[in-house]
Each structure stands twice: as C-alpha cells, then as structure tokens.
Chain A
Amino acid sequence: MNNNSKVFANAAEALFDLTDGISLMSGGFGLCGIAENCINQIAEMGIQRIHAISNNIGNSGRGLAILLKQHQISQATCSYVGGNPDLEQQMLSGQVDVTLVPQGTFSERIRAGGMGIRGFYTPTGYGTLVAEGKEVREFDRPCILELPLKADFAIIKAQRGDTYGNLWFKETARNFSPLMAMAATTTIVEVEELVELGGIQPEDVHLPGIFVQRIFQGANYRNDIEIPIYADE
C-alpha cells in the first residue's frame, strides 16, 4: 500500500478518525445495502452523540439500530421510523432528536449537498408540517425551499469497488449510497469484492471514485432479508 492509496485493511483502520459528535451518512434502504462492517466497528468504538443521516436508521435491532441500542445516536435525520421500535421509543422519550424528511426531498437534499446546489424548490410537503418555517414560492403551484444536506463522514457498502473507489452496486442496494458518497467530507466504502483498476468497465461505474476517500474489503456479510416472501408459498 503506497501513501496515496485509498485502500485500507479493514473497518478499524478505515474509521480511525471518527470522533464524538460527528454527522454520519449511512447508505442502505432498511437493511438492504448497509455498511455492516463499519456499523459494527462504530459500535465497538463507542462513538457518542452521532447525528445519523439515513433513510431508516436501522430496523428491528439491526443496522444502525445497533448504535441506537447503545445510545450512540443523539440526532437522526430520516424519512421513515416504522418497523424500528428502538428509534420510535427513543424519539417519543426525547433521547433522540428526530427530523423526518420526505424521502424524495431527503435524497435530493443529499444530492444537492454533493453537487454544489445551494437549494431547490419542491411541491413535496407544501401545506403540511414539513413546510413549517420554510420559504414558499409560487411556480405552476406552490413550492417550498429545501436546503442541501452534507455530513462529516459517509459509510457506504458496494458489491464491487476498485482501488480508486469506482463502485458498482448490485440490484436495489444502490438506493441512497452514491448520493451520500458525494455529500460527505470523508466517504468510507466497504465492498464484497475489491478489484484492481480496470476491474470494473468504465461504462459500468455507478459512482466514480473521485467521490471516495477510503475503501476496504469487507468480511462476514449477513445481508439480512427483512421480509422474505416467496412465489407460491
């Protein structure tokens, strides 16, 4: 490994500079496409007062809910808390300050954060609690001003990545991950398959490696399925 390499040996090495009070984007939809190695490592490090930015903040005790159970998350920005009793309970008791954001606004705010867009107007949320305190502007219909979302760190899982950080995601595991990778100051990626440069065809790169600061080969993936339903059963 040379000094300029983005490649790290494991989660412990790749997450060396995480500290209390960071904002942390975490990719995945429910448990699909979550950075399992990074989450377990953050649980072990015991980092406190995390502002977690993630669609679901885990589910049923798994994913980021591991950090919730250890009371490592003090603030959460997400779109959905259903199916996550740890979050719902800590939200209602005031232990976690939760900001609910409509999912399309959530993803576009993160995209804007990475893409240098300073704000955008959307009809989503007009006339609801989401619009409270926000500028309203009339286009073809009334829209509200939404601002970008950024974070200190993003933890991302991809199926395949090369040593520069070019990534390829499998099926619906892509979701918020490439957006978050663009919006964080330091993006840390774990992959099931770490390949050499050229191991991913340029046409097949879903996220260019310019957005990635660190990458490592993950291990021991559970890849949990939340609700398995099979044909004809």
Chain B
Amino acid sequence: MVSNENQPAGAESPAGWTQQQMADEIIAMIDHGASLNLGIGMPTLIAERMPDDKHIFIHSENGVHGVSGRPTRETVSPTLINAGKETISIGAGASFFDSATSFGMIRGGHIDFCVLGGMEVDVEGSLANWMIPGKKVTGMGGAMDLVNGAKRVIVMLAHFSKRGDCKLLPQCQLPLTGKGVVHTVVSNLGIFTPTGNSFRVEKLAAGVQPSDLGIADEYLEISQP
C-alpha cells in the first residue's frame, strides 16, 4: 500500500531497510511480556512478525487486549476487529472492555509501548499525523491519547515523503498530535532519538551515510561507539 513511500523522489539516497526490517528493528526493542499498541498501517506489520516466544500482549484501543493474528473464514466474527476495523483473532488470556477502560489503560500508563505512523516528527519529539490544513483531515482517533499515555512512544515512518521531503524536522510544520512525546523514531534509514535540540543517531541501515538523512548537521548527533 505504501511501498513507494520508501523511495524519495530524487532516489539519490539508499532505500535502507524494508518495512519488514523496520518492524524487526522495533520488535528487538520490545521487552518479553510487554503490552503493545499498534497504530493503523505500517505498524501492523509488527504483529505479523512478532515471534510467539516473546509473549507480547497486543492492545487495540477499540476494546481488546491479547490480539493474536488473523481469523480463518470459519472462525471470523464481525464483532471481533482491531482499531483499523480489520478482522482479528485473540489468544489465550485475552480480554474485552469498553472504550473508557481501554483509554484508561493508555492514559493511566499501563501500556508499555505504542508504535504509530507519522507525517512529521521533530527534534523535540513532537509528532504530527492527523491533518494537513485545507487538504486532508483524518482525525486524530486515539493517537493523541496514545502518545501522551504509553510508557514508550515509537514512531515508524518512511524517512522521506512521496515528494522527497525529509519527515524528520527541526520543528513540525503541521498541526501537532503531541508535543514532546516521541521517544524513538524508526525510519527506513535508521533509528533516531529526539533529544530536544537534535536527532541522536542510534543506528543506521546498511549502506546509509549521515549525509543521506536529509537532516542538517546542526540537528544531527552522531555518537561514535
């Protein structure tokens, strides 16, 4: 669906990781037994690639904890869906609850990780992902609650927009989803931590150089191992 997003218009910089590799990088950050909320789109790949032996509980904000894979045509139920309105299955130990309880789990700090997509993210850890004034409005859904409630907020995005603009900015230009809320950014080019005045490079995909990132040197912090 968004496969072409990984290729900047100019195509002069390397593609870096595939979406599957990005998902695997995020899975490596998630603790055994953690509770995890996944946003619509690319983050759902994480559920598909999560190894069973991690015993992760996946939360979906429409009211289920313990999502596990997809149904068959025999087991599918119209009342068993995730927040993306896709059919799901549940694992042993799952639970259902109303929306206020679901967001209480989020706002109350009981969800360990949330992974969501983004249009822009900046050095202060602010995120924009719910509207483009005058052009597109999807609404924030549960994203504003998630970024303010989950213990660790991971943004998973294509490093460049379809137009070739870098999505990692000194300051977000679009209306914010949350201010200073993002802990980790995973793009197809690497893993970054917003420090308040720069992006600290935690890891780069194979073949990617700092000069490929589209981020000015003054906003880039590269720690040598």
Contacts and interface: CB of A to CB of B under 8 A. Distances in A.
Given A124-B149, A176-B98, A33 B142 contact: no
Contact of A172 (B96, B100, B137, B145): B96
Q: How many of chain A's residues touch chain B, expressed as a range?
A: 35 or more
Interface in A53-110: 55, 59, 78-83, 88, 91-92, 100, 102-108, 110
B contact residues, range:
35 or more
A226 interface: yes
A3 interface: no
Nearest to A123: B148
B73 interface: yes
Interface string B135-175: 00111111111001100000000000000000000000001
A79 B96 contact: no
A226 B82 CA distance: 11
Nearest to A110: B100
Interface in B119-144: 126, 137-144
Interface in A151-176: 159, 169-176
Nearest to B148: A123
B103 A108 contact: yes
A103 B99 contact: yes
Nearest to B80: A171
Contact of B148 (A124, A171, A178): A124
A127 B176 contact: yes
B128 to A, nearest CB: 9
Contacts of B107: 104, 108, 122-124
B63 A103 contact: no
Interface of A: 29-33, 55, 59, 78-83, 88, 91-92, 100, 102-108, 110-111, 122-130, 159, 169-179, 206, 223-232
Interface of B: 60-64, 69-73, 76-81, 83-87, 89, 96-100, 102-104, 106-107, 126, 137-145, 148-149, 175-180
